[in-house]
Structure 1
Amino acid sequence: MSTELKVLRRADWDTWYAGLMRAFGGVAESEQERALWNDLTEFERSIGAWDGDLCVGTAGAFSFRMSVPGGAFVPVAGVTMVSVAATHRRRGVLTSMMRRQLDDVRALGEPLAALTASEPAIYGRFGYGIASRQLSAEIDTSRVTLSVPAGTDAVRLRYAPVQEVAEQCEALYVRSIGSRPGMPARTPGWERLPLLDPPEERDGASPMQCVVAERDGGIVGYARFHTKPEWDTSGPKGSVVLRHIDALDPAASAALWRFLFGIDLTSALHVRNRPIDDPWQYLVSDIRRCLVRVRDVLHVRLVDIGAALGARAYRTPVDVVFGVEDAFCPWNSGRWRLTGDTGGASCVRTDEAPDLELSVRELGAAYLGGTPLTALAGAGLVRELRPGALASASLAFGSEHAPWLPHGF
């Protein structure tokens, strides 16, 4: 049997999406979520692998701009909805889709591709490196307390209908994205994603609630969450499930976290997908009882090394020649000289001897400043050829704040 790659037609979306859902376990999504993904699908950037009338593979991309160190926003292909039917594994279907997709990304002039991986072992062979991580926590709020900064008591909190304050909350998100690498600038329609709240996915919890933090009559923060009641013979032991939290300053942030810790009839706070340097960790009385975990999130692939490295800024002056290996996108292979500082950078081809040797995967991992080149060298993945080049480049690639992807795509 042979397969043929085709650009997705609107008339084929139901068949294409059904194949994707089957590959991810076959459990139907809510109509609310399904309708959103249908609206957001960029059909011209979506492909299907067809075996006759059967759709046996899917892949798509969203057109984003993503924040990078220095505060710039760089065009990125948000790779998404990748699947291969179990009946057609190990036949080159995924490789053919990745090949087609990266060629298309290059033709569009996007220097980066990025994805979240259902299985992180899959995408390294296509040049993707783990560039950001997320924090989760299970906090015992019956035993953990918070020490809050000055000004916290001056922040006013109030419940607000989720939809009523959605526009103001989205404005806070827009203000925050330039300060932390890895955050996508949401295009129209994407503001609906964090508001999804299908009843069948609450697992016994309440509808999504929202509390806003106010100062001088304006909203300076918000938290969206669910409460899940539970009782035993000793009394209430409910939990709070945090969906989103954002604030403009430490006092507003602390006021919201203190509120979440203190909701009546609850003794646990479930935190999902927060930055690994989230400040609340430094306010708690006992971090061990917060059961903090870290996992990979955003995998980044440099499609055009020169454009990608030249699009971000660097914490310290850098002048380094990389010897890069890129078997899947051979146009990237060779030597590249990167020069730059906090004001910007340039990355061009060169015949000079390399200072560091690595693969494009390691450049992707280091790109957002969350994975030190020194750590990759310690794993044997970066080779230093000029003494001092590794430490200098690793410091320059760092970011003031840990990169973070606030939602999937």
Structure 2
Amino acid sequence: MDLELRPGTTDDHAEILRVDGVAFGDHFTEQDAEDALGAQPPQFTVATVADQIVGVTGHYDFTMTVPGGGALQVPGVTWVSVSPVHRRRGVLRALMDRQVRDFAALGVPAAILTASEGGIYGRFGYGPASSVRKTVLDRRVTRLVQSGQKTSGEVQVLNAEQARSVLPELHRRWREQVPGALNRTEAWWDHLFLDREQHRGGMSAKFYLTHPEGYVSYRVKEQWNDGIAALQCRIVDYVISSTDAHAALWQVLLGMDLFESIESHQIPVDDPLPFLVNDFRQVRTTAVNDGVWVRPIDAAATLAARTYPVEVEAVIEVVDPLLGDRRLVLAGGPDGASCRPTDRPAQASFSLAGLGSAYLGGHRLSTLARAGVLRCDDPRLLSRLELAFSTDRAPFYGTAF
């Protein structure tokens, strides 16, 4: 098989849609194509055989918040697909390696992605760095224990046009607080507000509840059981920046008498809601999956971009089979960090995926050490590194791409 790789162009979009549609079981309409590739298309790399596109990968440019409130400019890898009749032939490996080398040539510190399957991307150096859970709550028997505070007075119900002018600033303030959170461009917001009926999963158009320090958008599925209301509410976007906003928005949600249940994939694993309601068990986690994956490319720049809650200094080896292993001395604390090459002996060794999993504070280093993706022979240093890589909030990316 004579495989060639090249940058994708706008002339390739129809073929890219065909390959991606077959891979994911989708038929793209002209409207779908315009929505996906019109105002803000990703930057593509395509694999061809005899001038026919057989594989594709792309990326969007994001700003990702890192622990301590700083930010990294990172590509968000997306649209990864290979024609079913060209799989198991090295097409994906060629695309992913080419993409990483291109990122390295551009000086990109790290790349991120979200995975349709959990077993694909670890071999390319990506590590799961955050978690996403599905939360289901029985609204009929759940109430806030402090509901008497009447905090819901600051909540407003907005239509889509009103929400479009308010939500971006609320989201910006929220994402600056949350490690792993991603920015949204104006074009991205425009796309979210298209809210096409065929993408609603049989539910309503979005409703918007806003507070000066946060918002919730949700859909409703109408359901009646022999005349008894049993509507289902699905939270689509969950952006809450303060304790007051959290209580106020949930007071409104839990007061929707026709709702039987409220479910979401957007409530972070460390959300305080279970401790604020009358019955801890009613906030049920029914599934936990990987969220954003991180692949360090310039490990020194990536490590130096975040802060660390305790002072730490250690020589870290980062094993990178594609771009070459690095030995770095990391010196960091609450006020900043530096990371530079060194010839000193390594005190800890990370696989690429292990460092990616550790970076945002979503996984304990002792867990990674037991899994073998991190090696540190000094238990005291491992404990110190674990404290240094910890965060006061669980990482959450918040924007599907």
Could you tell me the TM-score, scaled by structure 1's length? 0.92
Task: Supply the AA of the counterpart residue of 1:345.
Answer: A
Show the counterpart of 2:361.
Answer: 369
In structure 2, runs of 5+ residues without a counterpart are none
Show the counterpart of 2:350.
Answer: 358
Which of 223, 233, 242 lines up with 1:240 in the alignment? Answer: 233
Show the counterpart of 2:387.
Answer: 395
Deviations 1:121-151 (A, max 9, x none): 1110111101011122111111222223785
Which of 260, 264, 268 lines up with 2:253 in the alignment? Answer: 260
Show the counterpart of 1:224.
Answer: 217
Work out whether residues 355 and 384 of structure 1, in 8 Å CA contact, stay in contact via their aligned partners in 2. Answer: yes
Deviation at 1:157, TM superposition (A): 2.7
Does residue 303 of structure 1 match 2:301? no
Work out whether residues 152 and 249 of structure 2, in 8 Å CA contact, stay in contact via their aligned partners in 1. Answer: no
Which of 242, 266, 269 lines up with 1:273 in the alignment? Answer: 266
Which whole-Å CA distance do the structure 1 matches of 2:311 and 2:4 have between them? 48
Distance 1:310 1:11, change over 3 A: same
Which whole-Å CA distance do the structure 2 matches of 1:32 and 1:15 have between them? 14
Show the counterpart of 2:278.
Answer: 285
Deviations 1:213-254 (A, max 9, x none): 3xxxxx333221112111122611111111113234212221
Show the counterpart of 1:347.
Answer: 339
Task: Supply the AA of the counterpart residue of 1:288.
Answer: R
Show the counterpart of 2:156.
Answer: 158
Which whole-Å CA distance do the structure 2 matches of 1:228 and 1:27 have between them? 25
Which whole-Å CA distance do the structure 2 matches of 1:249 and 1:407 have between them? 20
Work out whether residues 134 and 297 of structure 1, in 8 Å CA contact, stay in contact via their aligned partners in 2. Answer: yes
Q: Which moved more, 1:123-132 or 1:137-146?
A: 137-146
Show the counterpart of 2:2.
Answer: 2
Q: Which moved more, 1:144-153 or 1:6-15?
A: 144-153
Show the counterpart of 1:211.
Answer: 209
Which whole-Å CA distance do the structure 1 matches of 2:238 and 2:327 have between them? 43
Work out whether residues 141 and 261 of structure 1, in 8 Å CA contact, stay in contact via their aligned partners in 2. Answer: yes
Distance 1:170 1:85, change over 3 A: same
Show the counterpart of 1:22.
Answer: 22
Task: Supply the AA of the counterpart residue of 1:7.
Answer: P
- What is the DSSP-based 3-state SS (H/G/I as helix, E as strand, rest coil) of the residue aligned with 2:350? strand
- What is the DSSP-based 3-state SS (H/G/I as helix, E as strand, rest coil) of the residue aligned with 1:6? strand
Work out whether residues 30 and 198 of structure 1, in 8 Å CA contact, stay in contact via their aligned partners in 2. Answer: no
Distance 1:81 1:303, change over 3 A: same
Trace 1:43-192 onto structure 2 (pairs within 5 A).
45-148=43-146, 152-153=150-151, 155-192=153-190
Deviation at 1:17, TM superposition (A): 1.8
Work out whether residues 152 and 251 of structure 2, in 8 Å CA contact, stay in contact via their aligned partners in 1. Answer: no
Which whole-Å CA distance do the structure 2 matches of 1:193 and 1:152 have between them? 35
Show the counterpart of 1:216.
Answer: none
Work out whether residues 74 and 112 of structure 2, in 8 Å CA contact, stay in contact via their aligned partners in 1. Answer: yes
Deviation at 1:324, TM superposition (A): 2.4
Which whole-Å CA distance do the structure 2 matches of 1:24 and 1:243 have between them? 22
Work out whether residues 151 and 247 of structure 2, in 8 Å CA contact, stay in contact via their aligned partners in 1. Answer: no
RMSD: 1.9
Deviation at 1:34, TM superposition (A): 4.6
Deviations 1:240-280 (A, max 9, x none): 11111323421222121121122132211111222211222
- What is the DSSP-based 3-state SS (H/G/I as helix, E as strand, rest coil) of the residue aligned with 2:265? strand
Task: Supply the AA of the counterpart residue of 1:382.
Answer: L
Distance 1:80 1:10, change over 3 A: same
Show the counterpart of 1:404.
Answer: 396
Deviations 1:180-228 (A, max 9, x none): 1111122331222432411123233222111223xxxxx3332211121
Deviation at 1:373, TM superposition (A): 0.9
- What is the DSSP-based 3-state SS (H/G/I as helix, E as strand, rest coil) of the residue aligned with 1:245? strand
Which whole-Å CA distance do the structure 2 matches of 1:285 and 1:29 have between them? 47
Deviations 1:76-112 (A, max 9, x none): 1111110011100111111111111001111111101
Which whole-Å CA distance do the structure 1 matches of 2:152 and 2:73 have between them? 40
- What is the DSSP-based 3-state SS (H/G/I as helix, E as strand, rest coil) of the residue aligned with 1:241? strand
Show the counterpart of 1:40.
Answer: 40
- What is the DSSP-based 3-state SS (H/G/I as helix, E as strand, rest coil) of the residue aligned with 2:160? coil
Distance 1:24 1:59, change over 3 A: same
Work out whether residues 273 and 283 of structure 2, in 8 Å CA contact, stay in contact via their aligned partners in 1. Answer: no
Deviations 1:350-407 (A, max 9, x none): 1212211221111110011111111111223322223411000110011111110101
Show the counterpart of 1:324.
Answer: 318
Which whole-Å CA distance do the structure 2 matches of 1:221 and 1:381 have between them? 38
In structure 1, runs of 5+ residues without a counterpart are 214-218
Which whole-Å CA distance do the structure 2 matches of 1:346 and 1:29 have between them? 49
Work out whether residues 238 and 267 of structure 1, in 8 Å CA contact, stay in contact via their aligned partners in 2. Answer: yes
Work out whether residues 350 and 375 of structure 2, in 8 Å CA contact, stay in contact via their aligned partners in 1. Answer: yes
Which whole-Å CA distance do the structure 1 matches of 2:263 and 2:33 have between them? 23
Which whole-Å CA distance do the structure 2 matches of 1:30 and 1:314 have between them? 48
Show the counterpart of 1:338.
Answer: 330
